[in-house]
Structure 1
Amino acid sequence: MRITGIKATPVAVPYRHEEHWAFGRRLGCVSVLIELTTDDGIVGVGEAAAYPSADIVLAVLDSIKSLVIGEDPFSIERLVRRIELVGTWHHVRATSPAIAAVEMACWDIVGKSCAQPLVNLLGGRFRDRVECFYYVAAGSPDDVASEAELATRTGFGTCYLKVGSDNPHLDIDRVEASRAGAGPEAKLRIDANEAWSPGSAVRMIRELGRFGLELVEQPVSGRNLSEMAYVRNRSEVPLLANEASWTRSDQLAVIRAGAADAVSVDNQLDGGLLNVKRSAGLCEAAGLPVVKHSLGELGIALAAAVHTIAATPNFTYANQAYGALLSDDVTVGFGGGIDSYDEGCLPVPTKPGLGVTLDQDRIERYARLYRTRGSEFAFTDSAATKQSRALPKF
């Protein structure tokens, strides 16, 4: 079997609420859906987060096309190494989601050819369903409390909230509101996206710790591991590395520096699903749990992640997904809004490959939305581009 073509379709799906983080916002999720065709007639699907933009993802796909077409989709290790070495992507630390999408589509082809769900090809089920957190959209404290209450009412056990705003008192008010809305039993995780200096991080974590935090994600720069270790050694709340741990090389450095209590991993930023398995093994050897990170995803990429997590023991925390924010999806019955989740969990698909069915009408609808309004959904916030920002904020 040989790969004969790559088709790429950018789509934009609106959020229920704007997504805000330390230095920007998004109105929706932009993904590039890909289809790998083969000479056997089997089509594999994949998905790339539009990071840093859909145009860049499309350019990467075009640049690696000659390295992919004509290759055997079963030879995934060979194909990815061909892209990394012949294509010189090994010089780029965080690789493009485009490469991960090609690898994902190859796994879909392999699963369909073998009539097996992907989880069975990645080691078999360690768990039957995968827990995700509820992404509480940042807003007024009243809005945050309402969203956190909805999270608990719909069965989610973990709430995730962005902090790192320009006003630290607003962060405190929002975290307090999230705890009030979610109730005393819910787990509460915050993410500062590198917004704090080490001293400020220690002070903020001590202040926010009274609300019973589960994890604090990337409170300081991910580029200075000694800062992370400094904060970790002074914090009673476990630290989760994210911007510091986008690749296996980064994760190894985090482990060596003693900079985190848990490690965020992302197949989109480190070349594919096999590398997530490698990341998890690396962290397991160091006695650390791993958490799936997301740049924003629809049902295709989410299904791929669920298969991988289900086959990997040390994903012991709730993982990042966008069900609480998404208004819709491009698949039938998987991903999308919070109605797809049962007690905050997603089932492992049982059909061959990724096990998802695409909804062509919705793909066309959201492809049209991308063509007409795609810039409104980009990672780059047009309002923020008019400002000169600096990190840490204080």
Structure 2
Amino acid sequence: MIEDRLSLEYRQFSLSLSSPLETADGRIESRDGFLVRVVDGDSREDGKPDDATVGYGEATPLAGWTESVSDCEAALERARESIRGSVNEALEAVERQVAARHAVSLALADLQAKREATPLYRYLGRGPMVGRVPVNATIGDGDPSETAADTREAAERGFGTCKLKVGIRSVEEDIERIRRAREATGDGVTLRADANEAWTFEEAETALDAFDEIGLSLLEQPLPAGALEGHATLRKRSNGVLIALDEGLLEHGVDAICEAGAADAVVLKPMALGGIDVARKMAVWVNELGLTPIVTTTIDGVVARTGALHLAASIPDVPACGLATAELLAEDLGRDPVLLENGAAVVPQAKGLGVDGVWEE
């Protein structure tokens, strides 16, 4: 890559959600961020690439997980000014702003994979061709009857894994929801639950005992992120339900989680970790330590979402991942190149990300 030919541009976007999302940090009605492109080559007078290779990235900050939108924009401006010096200078300019770094590093990886004429996942992992990645269906916070119906519908659509949101209703009602979901699908569908830090230790104990009997596969982040020892105790208590950490991974890091014995799996969100390159290294690391990596999005646009799929495709034997999130957006940055089929995402085999047409007005 000839660095003095590189230029970086970014533009702001706002994508409405299909339905507002209630989180601990407030109500989210849209995903706001920046589309980034890195151009290797000359541009025409109108600013559009002419016989140039272009890599795309996305920075979609999320409160509680990343920097603010304004801090993200400031970091991208620093990267724009420094990229002609070197790629390393551009990455250093966004080092402390994880969403901005995600965008810059993804654009550079997309660019380099295109130059090498290989899909992004093979550029990341140097492994064999991968056609599909298993994905989970996400089941919202309906009542027990709605939960059973939604889980049955997902199973009929071919999803082999369903992740149910829990923690908003009472523990007793959540237990009933999981029970009804199991009855609706039988043993042929893997059920997971995500509590998003909602429970006290006593509530989590009650839920875990019931989930052991129902046959839940995995319970994600039942306690607040800081409760590392609490998660370790729950893991020891479990007779079959795996414990996964999401928010806890960002707070404590892999070494502390392993030392405490606090998790069987960790959730890798590339946007929150600072890029698919960082997440890829972490996936290799946790695999070596005996933990299972699960890749998810942060409800991103098509550029980041497709990047997360390529990351998952670069991980050998990756379990079902939280990548089927396009339907949560009412609009997107461009055409989605990823087909969902029988509970799996079909991985684009074009050069780089495989995402086109996102920059045009």
The two structures have a TM-score, normalised by structure 1, of 0.79
* C-alpha distance in 2 between matches for 1:254 and 1:130: 26
How do residues 148-187 of structure 1 correspond to structure 2 at under 5 angstroms?
A: 148-187=151-190
Aligned to 1:8, the other structure's residue is in SS state: strand
**1:164-193 per-position Cα deviation (integer Å, ceiling 9, x unaligned):** 124222212322232233343111100111
CA shift for structure 1 position 45: 1.4
CA shift for structure 1 position 68: 4.1
**1:182-217 per-position Cα deviation (integer Å, ceiling 9, x unaligned):** 343111100111111222211111123332111000
CA shift for structure 1 position 279: 0.6
| Cα 1:185–1:143 shift into 2, 3 Å | same
Look up the match of 2:45.
none
Decide whether the 8 Å contact of 1:3 with 1:72 is kept in 2.
yes
Decide whether the 8 Å contact of 2:137 with 2:322 is kept in 1.
no
Look up the match of 2:73.
61
State the number of aligned residues.
346
Q: Structure 1: which 5+ residue stretches go unaligned?
A: 90-94, 365-394
1:358 equivalent to 2:352? Answer no
**1:355-385 per-position Cα deviation (integer Å, ceiling 9, x unaligned):** 1123568xx6xxxxxxxxxxxxxxxxxxxxx
* C-alpha distance in 1 between matches for 2:192 and 2:214: 10
1:132 equivalent to 2:135? Answer yes
* C-alpha distance in 1 between matches for 2:317 and 2:92: 26
**1:84-108 per-position Cα deviation (integer Å, ceiling 9, x unaligned):** 3xxxx2xxxxx43122111111112
How do residues 203-222 of structure 1 correspond to structure 2 at under 5 angstroms?
A: 203-222=206-225
* C-alpha distance in 2 between matches for 1:19 and 1:227: 28
Decide whether the 8 Å contact of 1:140 with 1:174 is kept in 2.
yes
* C-alpha distance in 1 between matches for 2:8 and 2:74: 11
Q: Structure 2: which 5+ residue stretches go unaligned?
A: 43-48
- 2:34 is aligned, of 32, 35, 42, to 32
Q: Is 285-294 or 171-180 further displaced after alignment?
A: 171-180
Q: Is 314-323 or 254-263 further displaced after alignment?
A: 314-323
CA shift for structure 1 position 146: 2.1
The two structures have a TM-score, normalised by structure 2, of 0.85
Decide whether the 8 Å contact of 2:98 with 2:271 is kept in 1.
yes
CA shift for structure 1 position 227: 1.2
CA shift for structure 1 position 325: 3.4
Aligned to 1:244, the other structure's residue is in SS state: helix
Look up the match of 2:99.
97
Decide whether the 8 Å contact of 1:21 with 1:193 is kept in 2.
no
* C-alpha distance in 2 between matches for 1:23 and 1:200: 22
Decide whether the 8 Å contact of 1:136 with 1:324 is kept in 2.
no
Decide whether the 8 Å contact of 2:133 with 2:309 is kept in 1.
yes
Look up the match of 2:236.
233
1:246 equivalent to 2:250? Answer yes
* C-alpha distance in 2 between matches for 1:166 and 1:140: 9
* C-alpha distance in 1 between matches for 2:167 and 2:284: 31
Decide whether the 8 Å contact of 1:22 with 1:165 is kept in 2.
no
| Cα 1:50–1:195 shift into 2, 3 Å | same
How do residues 306-345 of structure 1 correspond to structure 2 at under 5 angstroms?
A: 306-313=309-316, 315-323=318-326, 325-327=328-330, 329-335=332-338, 340-345=339-344
1:83 equivalent to 2:83? Answer no
The alignment-based identity, stated in percent, is 28
Decide whether the 8 Å contact of 2:40 with 2:54 is kept in 1.
yes
- 2:276 is aligned, of 260, 265, 273, to 273
* C-alpha distance in 2 between matches for 1:70 and 1:22: 36
Aligned to 2:247, the other structure's residue is in SS state: coil
Decide whether the 8 Å contact of 2:33 with 2:69 is kept in 1.
no
Decide whether the 8 Å contact of 2:32 with 2:69 is kept in 1.
no
One-letter amino acid of the structure 2 residue matched with residue 239 of structure 1:
I
| Cα 1:142–1:20 shift into 2, 3 Å | farther
Look up the match of 2:58.
47
Q: Is 59-68 or 259-268 further displaced after alignment?
A: 59-68
